[in-house]
Amino acid sequence: MPKITVVGAGNVGAQCVYRLAQMGFEDLVLIDIVEGLPQGKALDMMQAGAVEGFNAKIKGTNDYEDTQNSDVVVITAGLARKPGMSRDDLIAKNSEILSSIVKNIVEQSPNTILIIVTNPLDAMTYLAYKVSGLSPNKVIGMAPVLDSARMQYFISEMTGSSVKNIHAEVLGSHGDLMVPVPNLSTIDKRPITEKMTQKQIDNIVERTKNGGAEIVKHLKTGSAYYAPGSSAATMAEAIVKDSKKIVGTCAYLNGEYGLKDVYVGVPAKLGKNGVEEIIELKLTPDEQKALNASADAVKKLCEKLTVRK
């Protein structure tokens, strides 16, 4: 039976665990530094299982020993953005938090696969890779599947088409320089460029880039968690079930798309070894230029990281 740990019992972590329980996973751990928080949420979720019909055993804990031998660990812990705060503003504090978590996790589960949700996500995923000592295919970031889902919904909202019949392709970093690719996004298997005006597409692209900030603006005292938590759960499911599903993933590139030693969003095949194949799409020169700029911004952010192994 696969064991999945989620670090951070805040809104994103709790949503992730709850979705995993609904998916049928039974050996789950929710860990947080706040005493009582993961224990209370875990108990509440297991009681919900009696209503919904799932039989998950969710261990709420403050002790890393309870995470031992986890197949996948999703790390959601860290400070959330506040209105007016950029992802870059988060880097110093979240670097410290993430480094400590990764060391504790890998000590208990040296063969695990890490899924990073902590922002600024691309830089934090690179940091986790450096701190963990794991191979890069076993350290991945969550964001591209989330960014694609947001674009997918915005297209659905604008056109009235079902989200089930829409595919949205988003590459690059999780932030202002993400690269929505309208040319490779479809409605009913046809490019959205055939179904939407350029003005509509431009609106969708801009709204996708600011998808997280739009929610932060509404909430005022928090950030998105339903879609991020569900996105992380979907990635964990693909890995432990060895499904070979192609998912938008913040993955380590070492030559793919002409980029090296950087984590950015690309479509990747996920399985029991983490990233098993990076799918290289055919991009236009402008799209490639935008992806390069996105990767350069991530590299500059990574230069600010202090890696303490």
Q: Which residues are catalytic?
A: 174
- Please tell me whether 32 is known to bind a ligand: yes
- Please tell me whether 55 is known to bind a ligand: no
What is the token pair recorded at 242? 């060895």
Could you tell me the sign of the dihedral formed by the alpha carbons of 94, 96, 100, 103, in that order? positive
- Please tell me whether 119 is known to bind a ligand: yes
Phi, psi of 36 (to 5 degrees): 90, -30
Alpha-carbon gap, residue 270 to 276, rounded angstroms: 6
- Please tell me whether 81 is known to bind a ligand: yes
Alpha-carbon gap, residue 27 to 19, rounded angstroms: 13
Alpha-carbon gap, residue 290 to 224, rounded angstroms: 26
- Please tell me whether 118 is known to bind a ligand: yes
- Please tell me whether 13 is known to bind a ligand: yes
What is the token pair recorded at 141? 């970031």
- Please tell me whether 117 is known to bind a ligand: yes
Rg of the chain over Cα atoms, rounded to whole angstroms, equals 19
- Please tell me whether 141 is known to bind a ligand: no
Spatial CA neighbour of 62 closest among 113, 5, 17: 5
- Please tell me whether 205 is known to bind a ligand: no
- Please tell me whether 8 is known to bind a ligand: yes
Measured CA angle at 149 (ends 226, 54), to 5 deg: 45
Task: Output the known binding site for NAD(+).
Answer: 8-13, 32, 94, 117-119
Task: Output the known binding site for substrate.
Answer: 81, 87, 119, 150
Task: Output the known binding site.
Answer: 8-13, 32, 81, 87, 94, 117-119, 150
